[in-house]
Amino acid sequence: MSAFSTTLSSLVEATSELIIVESQWGEVPINIVRTAKGVVFVIDRHHSPGESRTPPHAIEHRANVHAASSCKPDLLVSVNSVGSMIETMPPGIIGVGTGILDLSEKPWTFHDEDAFHSDRTKPFDDHYSEICAQTLIEKQGSAPKGVVVAQCIGPQFESSNEIDALERLGANVVGMTLGPEQRLVSETGIPHVSLLCSSNWAAGRTPGEPEAEIDHKSVDSMAANMRDLVSHCIIALLCGHV
């Protein structure tokens, strides 16, 4: 996603600029991409002041979601790299999230002083999710829907036993960042869409190689190859038609 603004601008005529949004949780760089169809605010959730990449367990999600919501968007889109447990989402395929299974212990909220309980019955917007699904069917030939995402904190990949347990609980893919984002977005009231980029098989799920190890460099490389597909989904969302 650090190169997503460039990819998006290569598909449509656009201009871009970088701004810094300040918050009580830290500064967040945002690339503003302006197109004829609308404006896209791009946040790299792993941003850091230097050349390093903030690991998933150290991301300040409140800063990121606050920065995104301060732009007054009509829609928030989370793009997440995930490990797949299902045959319909092999590495390289993008699915649309429908549900989330987040049993991690760390709470995430904007309301530490006064209790606020946001509804999470349907975490992702049906209409905008369908726009993405139809775009993926056109561009990649399929669009796995009804995908349930399990939240794990990382930074290590999960064990095969943990994947077995998560699958029994109803998860289809696993990731390290969507859970906190979805909780915080639910407090903003802004519609939310989840684009799930399958970058590897979850531990123990590689066909014919149940003991295959997960290599982070390969995961990064696979995720980068899906930027074009994500860009097409964003363009379709700007047009706003199923």
> What HEC string does 172-199 produce?
CEEECCHHHHHHHHHHHCCCEEEEEEEE
Distance CA 147, CA 42 (A): 24
Question: Token digits for 170?
Answer: 């109803």
Domain boundaries, the chain: 4-105+119-239
| Beta-sheet strand order (sheet of 14-21) | 14-21, 28-35, 39-42
Q: Quote the pLDDT of residue 220.
A: 67
Q: Quote the pLDDT of residue 2.
A: 67
| Residues 94/196, Cβ–Cβ less than 8 Å | yes
Digit-by-digit pLDDT tens for the chain (242 residues) are 667 888 787 778 888 899 999 999 999 999 999 999 999 999 999 999 888 899 999 999 999 999 999 999 999 999 999 999 999 999 999 999 999 999 888 899 999 989 899 999 999 999 999 999 999 999 999 999 789 999 999 899 999 999 999 999 999 999 999 999 999 999 999 999 999 999 999 999 998 877 778 776 666 666 667 888 999 999 999 998 65
Task: Say what the pTM is.
Answer: 0.92
Radius of gyration of the chain from Cα atoms?
Answer: 17
Residue 173's nearest CA partner among 201, 139, 193, 192 is 201
| Residues 95/144, Cβ–Cβ less than 8 Å | yes
Chain centroid to Cα 85, Å, comes to: 17
Distance CA 237, CA 241 (A): 7
| Residues 163/203, Cβ–Cβ less than 8 Å | yes
Name residue, tokens 């404006």. 39
Q: Quote the pLDDT of residue 40.
A: 95
Ramachandran category for residue 72: left, alpha or beta (phi over 0 → left; psi -120 to 50 → alpha)? left
The architecture of the domain spanning 4-105+119-239 is: 3-Layer(aba) Sandwich (3.40)
Q: What is the DSSP letter of 57?
A: G
Question: Token digits for 35?
Answer: 């197109």
Distance CA 236, CA 13 (A): 15
Distance CA 216, CA 225 (A): 15
| Residues 205/82, Cβ–Cβ less than 8 Å | no
